[in-house]
Amino acid sequence: MNTPFLRWLPLVGLLLVASLEVFWMRPPRPVPATAPGSEFSAQRALREVAVVASQPHPLGSPANARVREYLLKRCRELGLTATVQDTSTLVAKNGQMLVGRVQNIIARLPGRQPGGRAVLVLAHYDSQPHAPGAGDDGAGVAAMLETVRALQTGPPLLHDVIWLFSDGEEAGLLGAQAYARDTARLRREVGVVLNFEGRGNAGPSLTFEVSPQNGWVMREYAKAAPYPIASSLFYEAYRHLPNDTDFTPLRAAGLTGLNFAFVGGYPYYHSPADTPAHLDLGSLQHHGSYMLSLVRHFGSISLARTKAPDETFFNPIGHWLVHYPAAWNLYLTLGAICLLVLALGLAYQRGQLRLSSLLGGALVWLGGLVVMLGAGWSLLKLIATLYPQYGAFYDQASYNAPAYQAALLALGVGVFAAYYGWLSRYLRPGSLVGGALVLVALLAGLLQWRAASSAFLLPLPLLAATVAWGLRLNQAASPTRQPSVGLGQWLLALPAVALLSQVIALLFVTFGLGLLALAPLLVSAVLLGLLLPVLLPLVSPPTGPNRPAATSWALPMLAFAAALVALGVGHATRQPTADRPQQTHLFYTLDAPRQRAYWLSALVRPDAWTSHVLTRPQYQPLPALYPQSAAPILHQAAPVLALAPPTLALLADERTPGQRRLRVRLVPGRAGVSSLLLSITAATRVQALRVAGQAVAPADLLSAAGTTSLTFFAPRATGELMELKVAGQGPVHLTITTRSLGLPPVPGLRPLPPTTVPEPGYNSFTTQVRQEFRL
């Protein structure tokens, strides 16, 4: 019998388990249009997506107005009473002020007990400037229409259901903020919130955010959702991230709810390629399976008390959801740590471990982590250097990013295995394993301290790894070898592989090829540390006549070979196509006061298309346009075009001792302006500011003299009113820049080829005109 070959079978089994864990995290199969009317059908919902996402429709655009009229028509056809909340709103976000005119659609499906608390379902119907928005968020909007249709085939629910098609999400959650403005009304009217988003166009729909005190809502969710994929790890991580969705203002208002999104297909996010043809029907079906089942469930139970202590919840396999009170994690963590301490004491008592060597083992794992991250960072830098075109995508998440991520993971495993294989010549196996497990225990304690509901992630694998290590220690002390012990050790590796392989896969999908792509390597180092009881014998130097000398290098060499193959796949698939287009960035700005014009780009260097315009560009700060910024920007002189600049009408200038009040009208000056960028600079502090009837909260104003920045989306052609109050009598300087979609008709400007599309963003492929005023 080929013993060396058999030694590898359990490792192959673990790789198979990891692959299955990732594979089972998939959305359900799409239901055809021929399905019974009471079911949600992705094929039927796709017809709605085809209309909603037929073209880009950003806030305030004629295309967005057409989408709004279509949604109102469909609501009427489905028997809903729909109204439009037409208002302006102001949001202070990350030091910037965002203002815009939004038109939310609010529809209601009456229940049998009107007047009580309702179920609120929402998705936004606006898109990014260049994206049709099939995934973000046409899928959510279409799921709402298909869910209403399915609900109408059955008896009325107990509670009303409110359907909020929000506007202006892409501009800064403007529609949701406007709807959530009356917090007291919301708390009386709404019992539970379900928000649906899309960061991409594929993959399972993740329940990635839950409101605080989620015990009640998660228990009910577990009862009703047919294909749940949720984790309190998502919940804890999202609480510490700066990301926001329309769920954010509703959660801040104290409402109970759930937030759903699919995150696969990252290169299509906000892209012109986010079309109905590229939308994964499984993702749409998953959205709908959640929406229909949860609306039916929450619409039929009491919504009087929707808060309870947090739950821990996760999927150990596929759509099987485990949940229990988060308070139990403390006992689980303490139990795992106590068992490890007991194992360490046993090893010390038997002479298999010394305290100094235990410390050495811990330092070795930390060193392995540093080496892994260093190798990963070097590979990411190499990819960015060899393929600068990937930098045009969010987080460098190109279409072939999975190939490079596989290479990154394989390289990390190979480096870790080679590193431990080398150091196992100098340290005892007990020291290497014990040191790694001690650090994992410290991480488990940190997780319990900082993110208690997600503390399930490490104690369960740590318990199993400690038992596996204990079996190996006993076997080492025994004069006879027992094959069943080896099999037991491999089986005890399953909890770590099952839980952490999912996390690694989701982190890669989420973070692309940016620096945060090193986060999966960190989790991989933890996983490999937990697997040391079974991996160490495979990478240690040969010790007997029946073991070939090459065996200890087999795992790292195989991993390095896999990395090279994956890099080859990435290289072979680097060229863009019409279905996988390259993104590029360019915009035109006219500096009206100086009669100068510029081509500008967010790229670091010209690409294949922009090089015909940016022939001799500079990559340095441009204070003429951006006096407050020291960041470099790629730019070059452009032809000066006759474009009408924005104008300002001074309506009032009231001066009192120590104070000045100004009232002005800001006029775009030309047709098709999608947004105004306004900066206000005064020698003294701005004490009060009101735009389009919306007052800026005093806490959001600068505490001293400086420049206040504001972006106004969808301004009216007739202009928008602004009132401000400043201390003293000194001058006030205003700079207004208008943005309109599309590049100007400059002679020699080539059209984009079919394999190239604009980058996402509100500057990309725009025409901007800048004007200055001194009041």
Token pair 């407050």: residue: 628
The stretch 621-633 carries a mean pLDDT of 92
Summarize the confidence of residues 657-663 as an average pLDDT.
Answer: 91
| pLDDT tens by residue, 224-253 | 999 999 999 988 888 777 779 999 999 999
pLDDT band at 701 (very low <50, low <70, confident <90, very high): confident
End-to-end CA distance of the chain: 91
Burial class of 414 by CB neighbour count within 10 A (0 to 12, 13 to 18, 19+): buried
Would you say residue 172 has pLDDT above 50?
yes
CA atoms of 476 and 470, how far apart (whole Å) = 10
DSSP 154-178: SPPPSS-EEEEEE--STTTSHHHHH
Question: Residue 1 pLDDT more than 80?
Answer: no
Whether the predicted pLDDT of 283 surpasses 60: yes
Q: Give the domain ranges of the chain.
A: 3-21+327-572, 26-317, 584-775
Residues 770, 684: Cα–Cα separation, whole Å: 24
Of all residues in the chain, what percent carry a pLDDT higher than 70?
96
Q: 3-class DSSP state for residue 471?
A: helix
Q: What percent of the chain has pLDDT over 90?
A: 80
Place of tokens 């990937």: 390
CB 400 within 8 A of CB 326: no
**Quick check: 262 pLDDT over 60?**
yes
What is the residue-wise DSSP string for 643-669? -PPPEEEEEEEEEETTEEEEEEEEE--
Q: How far apart are CA 486 and CA 483, in angstroms?
A: 5
Band of residue 4 on the pLDDT scale cut at 50, 70, 90 = low
766, two tokens: 């725009």
**How many whole angstroms separate alpha carbon 636 and alpha carbon 576?**
27
- What is the model's pLDDT at position 2? 47
pLDDT band at 92 (very low <50, low <70, confident <90, very high): confident
**Of 488 and 375, the one with more pLDDT:** 375
Residue 155 pLDDT > 90: yes
Token output for 765 = 């492929």
Residue 740, sorted as left (phi over 0), alpha (psi -120 to 50) or beta, turns out to be beta
Query: 583 in helix, strand or coil?
Result: strand
Cis, bond preceding 137 (omega within 30 deg of 0): yes
What integer pLDDT is reported at residue 658 of this predicted model?
84
pLDDT for 476: 59
pLDDT score recorded for residue 728: 86
Question: Which positions ≥6 away from 328 have C-beta within 8 Å?
Answer: 312
Sequence letter at residue 70: Y
Q: What's the CA gap between 111 and 106, in Å, rounded?
A: 16
The predicted structure's pLDDT at residue 480: 56
The CA–CA distances, whole Å, from 24 to 15, 193, 315, 739 equal 14, 28, 10, 45
pLDDT tens string 572-623 = 999 999 999 999 999 999 999 999 999 999 999 999 999 999 999 999 999 9
Mean pLDDT of the chain: 93
Given a cut of 80, whether residue 685 has pLDDT beyond it is yes
Is the pLDDT at 541 greater than 80? The verdict is no
pLDDT single digits (tens) 54-88: 999 999 999 999 999 999 999 999 999 999 999 99
Write the pLDDT tens digit of every residue in 542-552. 655 555 555 57
**pLDDT tens digits, residue range 122-148?**
999 999 999 999 999 999 999 999 999
pLDDT tens for 735-774 read 999 999 999 999 999 999 999 999 999 999 999 999 999 9
Which DSSP string do the residues of 390-421 spell out, in sequence order?
GGGSGGG--TTHHHHHHHHHHHHHHHHHHHHH
pLDDT interval class at 294 (50, 70, 90): very high
Quote the pLDDT of residue 540. Answer: 74
pLDDT at 351: 77
Of 754 and 703, more confident: 754
Q: Report pLDDT digits (tens) over 7-22.
A: 778 888 899 999 999 9
Instruction: Give tens-digit pLDDT for 434-489.
Output: 999 999 999 999 999 999 999 999 999 999 999 988 887 776 555 556 666 667 78
CA–CA separation, 403 vs 409, rounded Å? 10
Average pLDDT over residues 315-340: 96
**Residue 296 DSSP label:** H
**CATH for the stretch 26-317:** 3.40.630.10
Q: How many CB atoms lie within 10 A of CB 63?
A: 16
Cβ partners under 8 Å of residue 238, min gap 6: 208, 209
pLDDT for res 489: 81
